[in-house]
Structure 1
Amino acid sequence: MNILNIKLIFILFIINTCQYLSCEGVNSEATRPVVLWHGMGDSCCFSFSLGAIKIIIQEQLPGVYVKSIKIGCDEIEDVANSYYGNVNNQIDEVCNMLEKDEKLKNGYNAIGFSQGGQFLRAVAQKCPNPPMKKLISLGGQHQGVYGLPNCGSMQYKMCDYLRKMLNYAAYIRPIQERFVQAEYWHDPLKEEEYKQGSIFLADINNERVINETYKKNLQQLEALVLVKFDNDTMVQPVESEWFGFYKPNQSVELETLQQSLIYTEDRLGLKQMDLNGKIHFLSVQANHLQFTDHWFKEQIIHKYLTMS
């Protein structure tokens, strides 16, 4: 066998080895699958929302597998389920869905839009298999909401009155189990009632007891990216998008994540993650989820979904 044949055999061996590793094990960042979860009133696949987002990601990362979560048989049911149902049951359904997807077995990155942000965080905390590597939360309400869509345009007294009316029924068990938004309604004037009555948010935020499994699983993330929309009129308070909220027992003064008990007591491991540089705080000078394709490509796809 001459030298040329030996070189040719060696080259073919290297190519085949690289192809094998690419398919079976070493999940490069550029081809790591991406999972999307939409927000309230949206669906997995509408061409004007997450359908368009999926196309953008696939154009920027050729060959990438993108899974957009759908709860229900079709887009109409998916929209309805963003308002009605038990979020914990939806999380269980999604965990089962992701675990059965062979294309995700080596890990995936996740992007949550609005309430999809806190829902995907619950997936990371409850279901480590397959492993979520990075979680990008676009306008997610991680400390919940105590406000109404576009309430910022209304007089304060009217807003406060409507808040109280909703809060009157928010923690009644049948409401909690049937209405999605009630499950992350957070009344700072009734912290104990919220902690005891909230079947979703108080649980995943470890506000009743510290679930060490939740804490351990969340810390497995390579990065938690929190995107806040500074001019948001949908989320009140907007600081919830950065894990901030009102100070307890009042609804005027705000506190940051770093000032909250969740952080100072490190109830979720966020303090350690922050100290390790795993939490990234981004902001957009725009209303809720109003970002450009250019911003999404540069600040999300090329910054967090590709090799640096």
Structure 2
Amino acid sequence: MQTSLFIGFLCIAAAIASDPVPVVIWHGMGDSCCNPESMGYIKKLIEDNVPGVYVLSLMIGDSTSADVEHGFFMNVNTQVEEVCETLRKDARLASGYNAVGFSQGGQFLRAVAQRCPDPPMRNLISVGGQHQGIFGFPRCPAADWICEAVRRMLDWGAYVSFVQSSIVQAEYWHDPLNEKEYREKSVFLADINNELVYKDAYKQNLLKLNNFLLVMFTQDGMVVPRESEWFGFYQENNDKVLVAMENTTLYTEDRIGLRTLNQSGRLHFLSVDGDHLQISEATFISEIINKFLK
């Protein structure tokens, strides 16, 4: 009898151990958690290729319409806090999870990794995330009134306190012609990039990742500059000359652990020949699901 119980216990333990690592996904600007043509499609694609996997598509708010609006008009720090609490309460994520962020969801999930190490994030995939911020707002995939309101606020003053606390895109607006004001007044991006008050926990927590994949779209017409997707950005006091990640102070000073991740073979780069988030199903399966989610 005891032998049978022991064998049964081993079988259960083996089954638990073989369960695929759960996946958390966070959508981009103008999208929602459950759009069947975007995040709903991605969720099903992962589930079809990783049998038995639990996929959580994050929704900010209590409806898909609220989720879309919060992608424009809700303080990012508050959103990250809410997501951290959601992840902590989800028992299915207790042993760890992989994360895939799309567009601004990429840097938001990076903030989760840096600020909330419990439960542990194992692999982080940023698909078109703006990790050094943006200095332009050329296209906006949402209702005209939303895009117009955001543009007006950015034009009025991206670093005005009210705008910083309420307009999502202002919180990762990075003006290379006024780096001092950016570092002092950016309530989100300058913080997670350790550009004002250094927080060693941000670096140490990011270094807990097994892998960090950065996906850049070579024809991206939405992210300005597109090199931000690989942690590149404009030279200080210049909005024309671009500096690759390896030559930025963020990297050379190893402020958040990028250099350490890269030197240890855990920082990966994928270049996709297409416009913003235009990645084929075949590429998503072969380069993201098969390499980092299985």
TM-score between the two structures when normalised by the length of structure 2: 0.92
Partner Cα separation in structure 2 for residue 142 and residue 18 of structure 1: 44
Change (3 A) 1:280 1:133: same
- Runs of 4 or more above 2 Å deviation: 12-16, 163-168
Residue 166 of structure 1: CA displacement?
3.3
Residue 108 in 1 paired to residue 103 in 2?
A: no
Q: Is the 8 A contact 1:227 1:241 kept in 2?
A: yes
- The secondary structure found in structure 2 opposite 1:175 is helix
Tell me, yes or no, if structure 1 residue 266 matches structure 2 residue 266: no
Partners of 2:152 and 2:163 lie apart in 1 by 15
1:294 is paired with a residue whose SS is: helix
Note the residue ranges of structure 2 that are not aligned, 5 or more in a row: 141-150
User: Which of structures 1 and 2 has the bigger CA Rg?
Assistant: 1
Which one of the candidate residues 173, 176, 181 is aligned to 2:169?
A: 181
The 1-side partners of 2:284 and 2:239 are apart by 33
Partner deviation per Cα, 1:249-279 (whole Å, 9 max, x = no partner): 1101111111000111111111111100110
Q: Superposition RMSD on alpha carbons, in Å?
A: 2.1
- 1:216 aligns to 2:224 (yes or no): no
| Alpha-carbon distance in 2 for matches of 1:285, 1:150 | 19
Q: Deviations 1:218-268 (Å, cap 9, x if unpaired)?
A: 000000000000000000100000010001111011111110001111111
1:132 to 108, 121, 124: 121
**Unaligned segments of structure 1, at least 5 residues:** 1-8, 152-162
| Aligned twin of 1:6 | none
Does the alignment pair 1:37 with 2:26? yes
Quote how far apart the aligned CAs of 1:44 are: 0.3
> Where in structure 2 are the equivalents of 1:209-248 lying within 5 Å?
209-248=197-236
User: Residue 148 of structure 2 corresponds to which residue in structure 1?
Assistant: none
- Of 10, 14, 17, 2:10 maps to 17
Aligned to 1:201: 189
1:120-146: CA deviation from partner (whole Å, max 9, x where unpaired): 000000000000000000000000000
Q: TM-score if structure 1 supplies the norm length?
A: 0.88
| Partner in structure 2 of residue 93 of structure 1 | 82
Structure 2 partner of 1:155: none
| Contact 1:167-1:187 within 8 A present in 2 as well | no
User: Per the alignment, in what secondary structure is the counterpart of residue 83 of structure 1?
Assistant: helix
Same amino acid, percent of matched pairs: 53
Match of 1:5 in 2: none
